[in-house]
Each structure stands twice: as C-alpha cells, then as structure tokens.
Structure 1
Amino acid sequence: MTKPKAFGRDGVSMAARIAAIPGGYLLVSLICACLARLLPVDRVEAVTVSMLISFLLYALILLWVFAARSVVKLWLWMAAAAMPAGTVLLISLWTGGRL
C-alpha cells in the first residue's frame, strides 16, 4: 500500500481549489449586491431575485472550480470577474443609491 503524498503537487492544487470556495462566495456576493442595486424593480424584489440567482451562480462556480485544469487560470478568472462587479458596486455606493 502506497502512502499518499502530503505536500505533493496534487496536494497544493487541491488546497488552492479548496481556497477557491470562499473566493467563489466573495465573487457571488459581489455579483448579488450589484444585481440587487441594478435591477429596475422594487428593492425587496431586486434582493429576492438576486439571491435566487446567487444560489445557481455559486453552484456553477463550485462545479467550475473543481473542473478547472489550471489553478492559476482559475484565480485569474475569478479576480477578473470580481473587478467589474466590485467597481459597479463601489460606484453605486458612491452615488448614494440604486443606479
């Protein structure tokens, strides 16, 4: 019986993928907040719709995290997706209300 490697290449890759779970949560939270502020409906309805979309989006991101071949590309994609969402949210907060 062979002993699994504790700190091998696969261990680092798996650790990076596990760390992508909170990163995916952060990404989905940013997108959810942007949707809640940008949807042209009442505030309660916008929050409800954005939360329903966030459940689907988070499940899709988690599937993609564990299917990605490169951890570096995974993190770069998540950072690239978070930048516009964070920028839109920041601008929306600076303007003092929903866009």
Structure 2
Amino acid sequence: MKRTAAGLPLAYRLAVASRSLAALLGGYLLASLANIALALLTPISQVDAALLGMMLSFLVYLLAFIWCFACRSAWRAWAGVLAPSALLALIDGVAYGMQTS
C-alpha cells in the first residue's frame, strides 16, 4: 500500500518544511557569517581572505544543510544553525571593531 503526500500527518509535513527552511535560510546565514569571519580574521591579503572565506562558505552551507536533515527534531536543526550563527555574529562584530579602530 502506497502512502501519498495527502496521507502523511500534518505534523510530519510541518517538520519537514521547518527543516527545509532551517537548511535553506539558516544555512545561508551561517555560511555568510562564516565567510565574513574568515575574511576578517585570516592574516592574508584582503582579496585572498575574501576568496578563501567564499570558497569555505560553500562547505559550511553544505554541512549546515546535512545537519538540518540529520537531526532528530526540527528544533535541534534550528538550534544547530542559529547558535553558531549568533556566535559568529559576535565574533564578526568584535573583529570588525578591532579593524576599524
């Protein structure tokens, strides 16, 4: 017997939608903040630091995407992307403040 999408419970469909949003939006936020942190903190030329940060941000985005669908719950998926994002935002703010002063 096959189950169609209409036969799946609403809670399951909402959990998958929440994980998808966490992977897409939260992963993008995490990758962007990782890119900025690497560009600000790497002790090489600005152009090379920006390129290195950009290349490694694809890996961060991939890992965040995998994390969101490997978690047991959608709450853990969101927490797993937003907690490091908050930490990176704090690091970015401090690093940017050190560069401008």
RMSD: 2.0
Give the Cα separation in 1 of the matches to 2:88 and 2:48.
20
- Match among 71, 77, 82 for residue 79 of structure 1: 82
Which structure shows the higher helix fraction?
2
Give the Cα separation in 2 of the matches to 1:77 and 1:85.
13
Give the Cα separation in 2 of the matches to 1:60 and 1:48.
19
- Match among 42, 52, 57 for residue 54 of structure 1: 57
Percent of pairs with identical residues: 30
Structure 2: runs of 5+ lacking an equivalent: none
Pairing 1:89–2:100 present: no
Distance 1:64 1:36, change over 3 A: same
With normalisation by structure 1, the TM-score equals: 0.85
Count of residues paired in the alignment: 98
Structure 1: runs of 5+ lacking an equivalent: none
Question: 1:7: Cα distance to partner?
Answer: 6.2
Give the Cα separation in 1 of the matches to 2:9 and 2:58.
33
Pairing 1:8–2:14 present: no
CA contact (8 A) 1:36 1:50 kept: yes
Pairing 1:27–2:30 present: yes
Question: 1:18: Cα distance to partner?
Answer: 1.5
Q: Which runs of 4+ in 1 moved over 3 A?
A: 95-98
- Match among 21, 38, 44 for residue 41 of structure 2: 38
With normalisation by structure 2, the TM-score equals: 0.84
CA contact (8 A) 1:5 1:11 kept: no
Give the Cα separation in 1 of the matches to 2:32 and 2:67.
17
Letter in 2 for 1:90: G
